[in-house]
């Protein structure tokens, strides 16, 4: 009986080890979706679900019938102090990554409960002074975005 229990636990240990070796990383690198297109539902969904405030993300619409191509992203239930500031920061951060990763995205409209923010690729690139499609790493793009988000007057300048 003791030998059977040992074999059972040893087998269980081996199975747990093997399962751990094959686990998928839930937080994949966003840049694996670089060069996606607006018409790629799963690519866009994967990108948006890895961006900030994804827990409030309720759905999206892709606008692909005529150029310029873009998308509408819907969020609900974001709470906190300075809520308008949080909306703007989420819109800038998420639009930055979308424009860096999605080749033919030219605009993104964000709906946060009763607030709407539209950001174009051209305006955002002019705001940064850099071409977003040139970025090749998530860390590099995150650092740029966080640097610009620290200046509240600069953030408000984008939405005039």
Percent of the chain scored above 90 by pLDDT?
79
Nearest to 91 by CA among 63, 128, 116: 116
Nearest to 148 by CA among 136, 157, 137, 160: 157
Residue 26 is predicted with a pLDDT of: 40
Residue 21 is predicted with a pLDDT of: 46
Is residue 139's pLDDT more than 50? yes
Write down the H helix ranges in 32-120. Answer: 41-48, 83-101
Q: Which residues pair with 60 in a beta bridge?
A: 73
Q: Is 119 helix (H, G, I), strand (E, B) or coil?
A: strand
pLDDT-derived band at 12 (thresholds 50, 70, 90) equals very low
Sheet containing strand 57-63, edge to edge, reads 57-63, 70-75, 107-112, 115-120
Q: Give the tens place of pLDDT for each residue, 66-118.
A: 999 999 999 999 988 899 999 999 999 999 999 999 999 999 999 999 899 99
Average pLDDT, the chain: 88
Q: Give the tens place of pLDDT for each residue, 25-47.
A: 444 589 999 999 999 999 999 99
């Amino acid at each position: 009986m003791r030998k059977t229990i040992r074999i059972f636990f040893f087998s269980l240990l081996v199975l747990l080890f093997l399962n751990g070796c094959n686990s998928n990383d839930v937080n994949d690198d966003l840049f694996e979706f670089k060069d996606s297109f607006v018409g790629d539902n799963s690519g866009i969904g994967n990108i948006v679900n890895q961006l900030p405030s994804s827990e409030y993300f309720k759905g999206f619409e892709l606008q692909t019938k005529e150029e310029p191509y873009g998308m509408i992203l819907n969020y609900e239930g974001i709470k906190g102090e300075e809520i308008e500031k949080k909306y703007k920061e989420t819109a800038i951060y998420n639009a930055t990554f979308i424009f860096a990763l999605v080749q033919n995205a030219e605009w993104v409209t964000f709906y946060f409960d009763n607030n709407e923010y539209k950001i174009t690729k051209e305006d955002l690139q002019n705001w940064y002074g850099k071409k977003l499609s040139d970025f090749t790493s998530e860390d590099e793009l995150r650092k740029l975005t966080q640097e610009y988000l620290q200046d509240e007057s600069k953030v408000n300048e984008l939405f005039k």
